Structure 1
């Protein structure tokens, strides 16, 4: 059975306004923290992901732009706010952090895991980073 979607519904969905994501400002002490590379690695979110993971792609496409707009560094660098780790390329790190599902966000402070979560929106990622929740 074919289900037809009325054209007016399709048009109204395509014209719906995008929701703006607000990300908290970086506190001054955190801004200073990220200016020195050796300090950045002490407070970081590790994002375990894979290119074949639809939820990972969705997280990157939907939430990262809001964080990048607030000058968050996101990438494979050890000096990034969010360090993106491909599980297929870094099996050792995946094993070390016992990654069971993707995406997985792991907050690491001073080399110790403090918190972990699955996919989050940009605001919740910022809350996790500042260890507020």
Structure 2
């Protein structure tokens, strides 16, 4: 027997207000990663993303505020800790790095790829950046 969901129920669910989620603080062991004396001026994470990618939006919304709170520069500039690259606008870079899924994070040290990953939490992004994984 097929059960149909009434259209009014579907509409009411889709129009339900979203709850505000409070941003959790970074755990102390994560904060310690940011205090390390290692020279990371030659490190950069490339984040390949798209506006239509739910996992990308979720990572930016949930993880980036904690990183920004610790003075991480996140944006499209080549000097940022995390350089955000929209695949729809920069197909050439997507092809150059062989990006096949979103989000893709690629750690560059001295301009060379050292590691890559899919979506990560703030702690794992910091570990990746400091090349501790």
Give TM-score scaled by structure 1 length.
0.77
Distance 1:83 1:17, change over 3 A: closer
Q: Within 1, Cα distance between the matches of 2:20 and 2:79? A: 39
- Runs of 4+ aligned residues of structure 1 deviating over 6 Å after TM superposition are 14-17
In structure 2, the partner of 1:8 is none
Between the aligned partners of 2:111 and 2:23, the Cα distance in structure 1 is 38
Q: Report the alpha carbon displacement of residue 111 of structure 1 after superposing the two structures with TM.
A: 1.1
Unpaired segments of 5 or more residues in structure 2?
A: 10-18
- Tell me the TM-score normalized by structure 2: 0.77
Note the C-alpha offset of 1:19. Answer: 4.0
Aligned to 1:46: 46
Distance 1:66 1:83 in 2: 16
| Cα pair 2:23 2:62 within 8 Å, conserved | no
In 1, Cα distance between the equivalents of 2:84 and 2:128? 16
CA RMSD, aligned part only? 2.3
* Corresponding position of 1:91: 91
> Number of residue pairs matched?
115
Unaligned runs of 5+ in 1: 5-13, 34-39
What are the residue-to-residue correspondences of 1:1-133 with 2, within 5 Å? 19-22=24-27, 23-24=30-31, 25-30=34-39, 40=41, 42-133=42-133
Question: 1:9: which partner in 2?
Answer: none
